[in-house]
Structure 1
Amino acid sequence: MSDETNAPNDDAGVAAEETPSLDLIVNVTSPSACERHVTVTVSRADIDRYFDDAFSELVPTASVPGFRVGRAPRKLVEGRFKKEVSDQVKGNLLMDCLEKIGEDKHFAAISEPEIDLEAVEIPETGPMTFEFDIEVRPEFEMPKWKGLSITRPTREFTDEDVAEQLENMLTRYAQLVPTKEAAKTGDYVTLNVKTTLDGKLVEQEEEVVARIRPTLSFTDTTLEGFDKLMDGAKAGDKKTAKVELSEGAPNEELAGKTLDVEFEVLEVKVLKLPELDEDFLQELGNFENEDALRDAIRQNLERQLEYRQQQKSREQITSLLVESADWELPPGLLKRQSARELERATMELRRSGFGEAEIRARENQLRQNSSANTATALKEHFILERIAEEEDIDAAEGDYEQEIFLMAMQSGESPRRVRAQLEKRGLMDVLRNQIVERKVLELVQNEAKFEDEPYTPEKNEVEAIHMAAGGPGDMPEASEKEKAAEEAEAADE
């Protein structure tokens, strides 16, 4: 009986303590599909309530000359601390207004609001008005994603496939031995690389080590026929070619221009592959014998095929889904997101078992077409995120552990170290997006109609170097960031 009597009183007490909701007038305009300009008007009643709460909290602890602490008249405290309390009230009001706007779901923000705090003032009388710009997820009609027709690459890997992959893997552990023989495809050359425009030096790098392959990839351009250019080269030779910088080159002044590139050959080296003895098998991964290593390589090939299947499906799915996604994306958003897209693509390749040479080549390809690649990836992300929300798909802790384990297995580092590096570089949200998007694509694939097609593994014919032929401009040095993260992690250990 007493419980029933007390319950209404408790509820009434809780209700009395609840903070009144802000009375806001929110006006939103759309300069573009992904941009919103927001004007917010806060009522005078709310402003006065915030001031009253602030001074009520301050008075009991206020120190005013001539009065004991907490004994000064409220009017005197209000006059003496008006400036400090005004700044506090302004900050609290702005924070609470933004929180309420988010709760009311006027838009789905994808960045922090840009507010000029100095321009925001609380008037002596009347309401307060402030404005801000924010980037948002665009509003669009969801395309039909169930029942899509998709081709899927398939392959039964042969012993020859495994043998070729084994040789590629052993090159990572091979010694580079100098030779006086003329260079040929597959050999390595140490080069001084110099680029010029109209005879003026643009960029140069010394002692660049590159494997001779058909294509040499810079971060801002590619040189086709690198193998033919270097065929027969010896130490002391100089070879010249021309390259056209990509439109997305970090040095924007030279984007699209053709440069002369000179390679001075310092040394030619050949690979000396390691012996597959017991010690080396243990070093590779505690393999009992060569057959166990070959089984692991076959599994890795199957993981790479799975990646190709996902990429092929993703390309087809997203091309169909984004057909009607004709909204423009702000240049600032594309520029900021390009680095995140590069990180996402790199993590996806690493967890799928690709080597560093292939990853570097893909990174350079993404950098060269940064704006277009990022625009497509963002549109894909917006659509896949909508499907994830509608189907209640998210990343669980077990998903993170699996992704990190796969990346650690490929890099040879411990999962704990890989996770620490991701956290220090602020990439856990990128990993989350990767997990969620993969789950959504799997859902779309489950609803799709598949037609299998033969898959031929791609040969790695691209050698990537971390050099911008046109100069670095404002390109983020990914390798330096990674090095710093690794050094910080090593220091912690």
Structure 2
Amino acid sequence: MAPPETDELPTDALPPEADGDDAPESLNLEVEVASPGACERRVTVTISRDDIERYFDNAYSDLMPSASVPGFRAGRAPRKLVEQKFKDEVADQVKGSLLMDSLSQISEEQSFAAISEPDLDLSAVEIPDDGPLTFEFSIEVRPDFDLPKWKGLEIARPTREYSDADIDAQVEKMLSRYGQLTPHDGPAAAGDYITANVTCRAGGKVVAEDEERLIRVRETLSFSDSRIEGFVALAEGKKAGDVITTTATLTQDAPNEAQRGQEVEVELKVLEVKKLKLPELTEEFLDEIGDFKSEEDFRTAVRQNLERQLEYAQQQKAREQITSLLTESADWDLPQGLLKRQSSRELERAVMELRRSGFSEAEIRARENDLRQNSAASTASALKEHFILERIAEEESLDVEEGDYDKEIFLISMQSGESPRRVRAQLEKRGLMDVLRNQIIERKVMELVQSEAKFQDEPFDQAEADVEAISFFAGGGEGDIPQATEEAEAAARAEEAKKPVNVSGSGKQ
């Protein structure tokens, strides 16, 4: 599902192509390609001496009309003097032109599809005084593979008719976004909130800590690099001044490499217990959250939101089955550097997809933590899926139109409560339009595969994991993820409460 940056050899690093009679003469290249791995190529390039001399001759010929040499008017100096004076500058220019033109020619003549820029140290390449120029570079490529059979797959599809009880439960869940936290003198219970100072130790040494963290008491407490199961049993009955002690095992993808797979001691000192008071569905409140005329209008919007999440579940279930079948023989080893770089792209893609489907920030945060805790495995799987779906898209001539971007951005804006224009600007600023493009392409491929599939309907279990997810690394080494105080958490809840509940196109935006 990840959207890797899988362009052909980077065009922004290559010279523009020429047409017709202006096309430059091709280089006489000797190219040797070794394959250290399925997604790696080691390329050795040799440029003939004749080509080198031709480039030098062209460079000096272009320079002669404007060359300024002491004792001569501009453009009048003998060529030998010009060559002596500008030898170093012209050599650098020729080296750059030879390298750029050779990379461009290789991208056209070689069969591999590059997914990264060439790993080429330009400063280490020098043009010899005699003989050919030889240089090497490594590049990551899309693996070669036989496209698996994708037509006529048998797929299970979850279906569900939502009852009034389902709507009641979802209404309560959505109203919690607008609830008020009130201090509670008694002990904490499931569903309550605690404010706590968090301290994590490994070998007796503090590796991570946070102050005044607001945490909801749920069955699972999910950190960005670990989980605490059975958190309700640990927190129930605790009051201000009490201390919760437990352990958490860091994942193999935790930022703290020295502690990966190890247990850390987790201590939560309870500062305060709070209850969540839900708002009443008054006319004023309904108007404020979405311009709803009645409670029935609000419930209709909630039902439509559930149906969108069912659609998401259907797409995810179908995708899991389809990609499992398609990647059955995809046993390629993926470069660790590629996986590390791509993990953040997969995280961005997953968040974008969830926002498009109308999930709350709390639900999105839980999914983010799941991905962070299993970063390497989930990224490797997603990359393999993408390579196969991309091949199908190419063979079926599937592409993205401007209207596709508009639709995706509109759906994301509905969840975020921001205007489509602002959402687009943010995506462009963060360099995520390519992520969005690949997401659209992959969805189109999935729709095509499903149109050729045979479906077997099965009941959809709406039961959700009882997870409280917070952006905190119990093992430390969290890098650029900020710690969130109670004040920051409250601000985030207040900001989410400003977002319109309606996600179906009617109501305030």
Once the two structures are TM-superposed, the CA of residue 334 in structure 1 deviates from its matched residue by 0.7
The match for 2:297 among 292, 298, 304 is 292
* Displacement after TM superposition at 1:476 (Å): 4.7
Matched, 1:406 2:405: no
Q: Is 1:155 the equivalent of 2:164?
A: no
Is 1:225 aligned with 2:215? no
Match of 1:181 in 2: 186
Give the Cα separation in 1 of the matches to 2:120 and 2:250.
37
Residue number among 258, 261, 266 corresponding to 1:261 in the alignment: 266
Question: What whole-Å deviation, never above 9, does each CA across 1:148-174 have from its counterpart, x for those lacking one?
Answer: 111000011122212211211111121
Q: Secondary structure at the match of 2:30?
A: strand
Task: Report the equivalent of 1:8.
Answer: none
Aligned partner of 1:317 in structure 2 is 322
Aligned partners of 1:476 and 1:104: how far apart in 2? 42
Residue 328 of structure 2: SS of its match in structure 1?
helix
Does structure 2 retain, via aligned residues, the 8 Å contact 1:152–1:452? Answer: yes
Of 108, 112, 115, the residue aligned with 2:113 is: 108
Aligned position for 2:334: 329
How far apart in 2 are the matches of 1:352 and 1:415? 15
**One-letter amino acid of the counterpart of residue 481, structure 2:** E
Q: Which residue of 2 aligns with 1:423?
A: 428
Structure 2: gaps (5+ residues): 1-18, 485-490, 492-509
Does 1:39 pair with 2:27? no
SS at match of 1:150: strand
Flag the 1:133–1:95 CA change in 2: closer, same or farther, 3 A: same
Larger CA deviation: 51-60 vs 315-324: 51-60
Q: 1:58 and 1:158, CA in 2 relative to 1: closer, same or farther beyond 3 A?
A: same
State which of 230, 235, 242 in structure 2 corresponds to 1:237.
242
User: Distance in 2 between the 1:352 and 1:196 partners?
Assistant: 38
Corresponding letter in the other structure for 1:128? L
CA-CA distance at 1:330 after TM superposition: 1.0
Q: Which residue of 1 aligns with 2:84?
A: 79
What SS is found at the alignment partner of 1:172? helix
Match of 1:371 among 372, 376, 385: 376
Distance 1:377 1:215 in 2: 26
Amino acid corresponding to residue 157 of structure 1 in structure 2:
Y
Counterpart of 1:303 in structure 2 is: 308
User: Does the 8 A contact of 2:471 with 2:481 survive in 1?
Assistant: no
Give ranges in structure 1 of 5+ residues lacking alignment. 1-13, 484-493
SS in structure 2 at match of 1:39: strand
Tell me, in whole angstroms, the C-alpha distance in 2 between the residues paired with 1:204 and 1:75.
70
Residue of structure 1 equivalent to 2:449: 444
TM-score by length of 1: 0.92
Letter matched to residue 322 of structure 1: T
The equivalent of 1:62 in structure 2 is 67
The equivalences for 1:268-279 within 5 A come to 268-279=273-284
Quick one: which amino acid aligns to residue 294 of structure 1? R
SS for the counterpart of 1:323 is coil
Range with bigger deviation, 233-242 or 64-73: 64-73
Q: Which residue of 1 aligns with 2:16?
A: none
Residue 477 of structure 1 aligns with an amino acid whose one-letter code is I
1:259-310 residue CA offsets vs partner (Å, 9 max, x unmatched): 1111100111111222323333233222222222221211111111111011
Q: Is the 8 A contact 1:144 1:321 kept in 2?
A: yes
Contact 1:217 1:364 in 2 (8 A): yes
Q: Match for residue 470 of structure 1?
A: 475
Q: CA deviation at 1:19?
A: 1.5
In 1, the alpha carbon distance for the partners of 2:207 and 2:428 equals: 37
* d(CA) in 1 for partners of 2:463, 2:405: 29
Change (3 A) 1:416 1:479: farther
Partners of 1:39 and 1:146 lie apart in 2 by: 40
Shift of 1:53: 1.9
> Equivalent of 2:366, from 358, 361, 364?
361
Distance 2:456 2:141 in 1: 37
Q: Which amino acid in 1 is paired with 2:30?
A: I
CA contact (8 A) 2:200 2:264 kept: yes
In structure 1, distance between residues paired with 2:50 and 2:289: 70
Q: Residue by residue, what CA displacement relative to the aligned partner does 1:170-191 show, whole Å, maximum 9, x if unpaired?
A: 1112111111121111111111
User: What is the CA–CA distance in structure 1 between the aligned matches of 2:84 and 2:190, rounded to whole Å?
Assistant: 82
Q: How many Å apart are 1:194 and its aligned residue?
A: 0.8
May I ask how many residue pairs the two structures share in their alignment?
Answer: 467
TM-superposed deviation, 1:16: 4.6
Tell me, in whole angstroms, the C-alpha distance in 1 between the residues paired with 2:22 and 2:456: 63
Q: Residue in 2 aligned with 1:6?
A: none
- Summarize the Cα distance change of 1:476–1:68 in structure 2 as closer, same or farther, 3 Å threshold: same
1:388 aligns with 2:393: yes
SS in 1 for 2:272: strand
Counterparts of 2:375 and 2:38, CA distance in 1: 21
Q: Give 1:202's match in structure 2, choosing from 201, 207, 211.
A: 207
Query: Are the aligned partners of 1:358 and 1:460 in contact in 2 as well (CA < 8 Å)?
Result: no
SS state at 1:267 partner: strand
| Matched residue type, 1:201 | V
Q: Which of the pair has the greater relative contact order for Cα pairs under 8 Å at 6+ separation?
A: 2
Per the alignment, do residues 479 and 351 of structure 1 end up closer, same or farther by CA in structure 2, a change over 3 Å counting?
Answer: farther
In the TM superposition, residue 479 of structure 1 has moved relative to its aligned partner by: 9.2
Give 1:167's aligned residue.
172
Residue 113 of structure 1 aligns to a residue whose secondary structure is coil
Distance 1:220 1:312 in 2: 26
Q: Secondary structure at the match of 2:393?
A: helix
Please list, as runs of the form range in 1=range in 2, the aligned pairs for 1:210-221 lying within 5 A after superposition.
210-221=215-226
Instruction: Report sequence identity in percent.
Output: 65
Q: 1:302 to 1:479 in 2, by over 3 A?
A: farther
The C-alpha deviation readout for 1:177-214, integer Å capped at 9, x for no partner, is: 11112111111111111111232212111111111110
Query: For residues 463 and 397 of structure 2, what CA distance do their matches in structure 1 show?
Result: 36
> Aligned letter for 1:244?
T
Match of 1:27 in 2: 32
Q: Give the match for residue 504 of structure 2.
A: none
In structure 2, how many angstroms separate the alpha carbons of the residues matched to 1:428 and 1:142? 27
**Aligned equivalents of 2:318 and 2:110: distance in 1?**
33
1:459: Cα distance to partner? Answer: 2.3
For 1:267 and 1:372, locate their aligned partners in 2 and report how far apart those are by CA, in whole Å. 38
Whole-angstrom distance in 2 between the partners of 1:286 and 1:441: 36
The aligned amino acid for 2:116 is S
Distance 2:402 2:263 in 1: 49
Is residue 97 of structure 1 aligned with residue 117 of structure 2?
Answer: no
